[in-house]
Amino acid sequence: MARIFITGSSDGLGLLAARLLIEQGHAVVLHARNEARSRDAIAALPRAEAVVTGDFSSIGQVRDVAAQVNALGAFDAVIHNAAVGFRERRRIETEDGLAHVFAVNTLAPYLLTALIHRPRRLVYVSSELHRRGDASLADLNWETRPWRGNQAYSDTKLHDVLLANAVGRRWPEVRSNALEPGWVATKMGGSHATGDLDAAPRTQAWLAAGGEPGTEVSGGYFFHMQPRKPSGAVHDPVRQDMLLAACARLSGVTLPGA
């Protein structure tokens, strides 16, 4: 059985994936943004091993989450699930001077990838909207562009697939993959979503648990446990390296091996 850490797992798809994995006999550590959400997570999944706490809009708190995880010992897999949605009507600036959507959806998984002791499997939850992301990687922090919440979200979901591929290329011993869960009726997706909520968390759980032939790949992109073709931009090592360099500059942390 595997030991798995899941970000953003106090509710939504993260919690559903955690429940699946625990039911399968795996050990799961949850993550919540604050102490109140941590209590909710443990109440919902009392069989979880532990909960770590930290707000991903803060570089300092993301670093602390990584330290909390490392203090718990080795993990077989990390699921980078935490994200904020596309409904922000203006550019919200974090304490670090970053656009909120970029800080949570792009920089936090980059930092955790760099700082958590390297697991055997990494899973990045993206979206079909990554295909609309700006592959130029210009103005990642939305300092000059007029704010568009939908575009900001799409950009970050492209970044997540680029990150998965960059890690898979640089760390050949790690199975690093991305997926899209579909548009489903979670708090983020909204009540009008039409996707299959039962199927939505299964791919990340399947990839994180590993052991099946379809999971023993790296640089893959999946939907409902089947390979799916992502945006062609994600396979470009130049774009991958551009994203890694930008994240290193903005966070002060360099991905090992980069």
Reading the block at residue 79, the tokens are 């699921």
**Phi then psi dihedrals of residue 11, to 5 deg:** -160, -175
Catalytic residues: 153, 157
> Strands 221-223, 226-227: parallel, antiparallel or unpaired by DSSP?
antiparallel
Angle between helices 12-23 and 202-209 (to 10 degrees): 50
Burial class (CB in 10 A: 0-12, 13-18, 19+), 233: buried
> Strands 27-32, 221-223: parallel, antiparallel or unpaired by DSSP?
unpaired
- Residue 100 neighbours by CB distance under 10 Å: 18
